[in-house]
Chains A and B, each alone.
Chain A
Amino acid sequence: MTLPTLFLLAPILMLAVSCLLLLMVGAFTNNTRLTGTLTMLAFLLAACPLLTHPGSGMLFAAGGGHLVSLSPFTAMACLLTLALAALTTPLLFPSRITNNESRITSKPESFILLALSVLGMLTLIVASDMLTLYMGLELMSFPLYIMAALARDDAKSSEAGLKYFVLGGFASGLTLYGISLLYAATGTTSFAPLATALAAPAPILTVGLVLTLLGALFKLSMVPFHMWTPDVYEGAPTPITAIMAALPKIAAFALLIRLTMGPFLALAHTWQPALAMLAAISMLAGATMAIVQTNLKRLLAYSTIANVGFIATGVVAANPAGQGGALFYLAVYALTTLGLFAALLATGATQTAHLKGLATRSPLLAALMLILLFSLAGVPPFAGFMAKFGVFLAAIQGGYTNLAIVGVLASVIAAFYSLWLIKLMYFEQPASATALEIPAPLQIVLAVTAALSLILGLLPTLLSTLTLAAATALY
């Protein structure tokens, strides 16, 4: 291996070095604002090589394949992860006007844990061997377990951390067992040789496939592996919930697409119908359960489950339009979710009733939330509509018309709770008429996410041409 090939890994190596430096800065200065600013810079800096020299190739030959492979697809997924990670950092910033929850998470260690988790996500995205996949998956998850339990005096937070840890450990254990079965049956853990070895069907391979995919489905919180989502979302501090809801989904979906297009391509007849079924159940169950929630974070948790079903529709389609559409949807979903959690932080609302009459207390915040909720509901001309349109169209092209029909039905149900929240904000009387002041860091997040939700709705080709090109490179 020569030095120039190592440059392909520049984003990951830069972020790894940044993590160590951030640890030093955080430990010696104990300055939250400085650590936070540097973390944001580290994310943006790591994204630079991806913008200028995206490059593709394989690195670290091992076991008949390679440990790491880079392609335009991985570059796109890494870029989305880093850009959105940079956008989540302001949620952890301290501000003059702040509530209890922000004070808990405004510590240097939050930023370091976030950076480590993002490092795991990048590793997961570029993995081309089960070993790299496992290391990436765990490096992504461990900081998230810790972050969920970050509010140390709060019983709900430690309960959320415990549930996330136990179920996450359980899921990654089963994934590992699946990997070990695949290894026992084929003698390799590398994606490329696995793809050839899996062409001959055997029961042990099917069991291995199902168990291996289980880890990704758990991280995605797809039904029936979604039970942890509402509890963990509710218990974890709100800024952390925003991170958990947005970032790992991109990495896990990128992994799912890499696995289904790589080693498991020959077994498409096994996973495609199963994934289609899970996607349909996820969107219907998520959308229906979201309606009956009174806790805003639980509502958003079920909304996540529904959205994951919509995104999986694009993966099931197994065509460039579907996978490109899934990437586009992921970007839109992550933006919307981040914006909505930032709005929850700004209002300090935990129950849906707390949003009553928000328009009179803060017209600007209500207007921004309106854009985000319309995007979540899939109302044209906002980004959410174009995202849903893209994956449903791809599903029809891929021969899954029924799934697209279920998807349209589910999005009608899903539109209900978004519109209901809008009704609460605009047509109800507030309990107190005190004006709300939005902390400066949250203003940035809200403005950027709302603006992008509108821009990507009006000019979807800005991003969709890039995601489509990235997905086409998989073939």
Chain B
Amino acid sequence: MFFTLTLTHVLTLSAVLLAMGLAGIVLNRRNIITILMCLELILLSVNINLVGASHFRVDLTGQIFSFFILTVAAAELAIGLAIVTLFFRNKGTVEIDAAGLMKD
């Protein structure tokens, strides 16, 4: 075995996923559905962190935590999609630029 997986590798992977999620939300100027996907990506990076740390620390808390996150993420997405559906009904589009009714 010339390559050993350590906690650092796991943390790096999750940091990359987090960066992708953040970039997707901040830089994305087109579609709201993409934003929802990026929110999920952030939560998945958290899960990788938790499960990885749980494995290397031989402690079950992280894995239990990740189950809670999976469940809550499902509820969150249900609410998110419902709100996007409402938004689409009122505006006829899911483009981010359409969300500009209120300004200072």
**A389 at the binding interface (Cβ < 8 Å):** no
Interface flags, B25-60, vs A, CB<8A=1, else 0:
100000010010001001101100110110001010
B83 touches A149 (CB 8 A): yes
Interface window among A30-38, A175-183, A243-251, A374-382 = A175-183
Task: Contact check, B86 vs A184: say whether CB atoms are below 8 A apart.
Answer: no
Is there a chain B Cβ closer than 8 Å to A310's Cβ?
Answer: no
A152, A173, A174, A188: the one contacting B61 at CB < 8 Å is A188
Chain B interface, >50% SS class: helix
* A160 proximity list for chain B (CB < 8 A): 102
Q: How many A-B residue pairs have CB under 8 A?
A: 125
CA distance A437 to B72 in the complex (A): 44
Which residues does chain A contribute within 8 Å of B89, judged by CB atoms? 152, 158
Q: A289's closest neighbor in chain B, by CB?
A: B104
Q: Which residue of A lies closest to B60 (CB)?
A: A63
Q: How far is the CA of A176 from the CA of B57 in the complex (A)?
A: 19
Interface positions of A from 138 to 170, Cβ below 8 Å from B: 138, 142, 145-146, 149, 152-156, 158-163, 165-166, 169-170
- Do residues B87 and A159 form an inter-chain contact, with CB atoms below 8 A? yes
Contacts of A130 in B (CB 8 A): 65
Complex CA–CA separation, A149 to B87 (angstroms): 9
Residue total for A at the interface (Cβ-Cβ under 8 A): 45
| Whole-angstrom CA separation of A156 from B103 in the bound complex | 11
Complex Cα distance, B25 from A142, in Å, reads: 20
Partner of B75 from the list A131, A142, A176, A235 (CB cut-off 8 Å) is A142
Task: Count how many chain B residues have C-beta atoms less than 8 Å from C-beta atoms of the other chain.
Answer: 42
Query: Distance in Å from the Cβ of B99 to the closest Cβ of chain A?
Result: 5
Q: Which A16-38 residues have a C-beta within 8 angstroms of B?
A: none
Interface residues of B in 51-92 (CB under 8 A from A): 52-53, 57, 59, 61-62, 64-65, 68-69, 72, 75-76, 79-80, 82-84, 86-87, 89-91
State which of B43, B53, B84, B102 has its C-beta within 8 Å of the C-beta of A183. B53
Residue of chain B at shortest CB distance from A155: B90
Q: Could you tell me which B residues sit within 8 Å of A by CB distance?
A: 7, 11, 14, 18, 21, 25, 32, 35, 39, 42-43, 45-46, 49-50, 52-53, 57, 59, 61-62, 64-65, 68-69, 72, 75-76, 79-80, 82-84, 86-87, 89-91, 99, 101-102, 104
The 29 listed contacts between A and B (C-beta, < 8 Å) are A134-B69, A134-B72, A146-B83, A153-B90, A155-B90, A155-B91, A160-B102, A165-B83, A166-B39, A170-B42, A176-B46, A176-B69, A180-B14, A180-B49, A180-B53, A181-B49, A183-B49, A183-B50, A183-B61, A183-B65, A184-B7, A184-B53, A184-B57, A187-B53, A187-B57, A188-B59, A189-B61, A231-B102, A298-B104
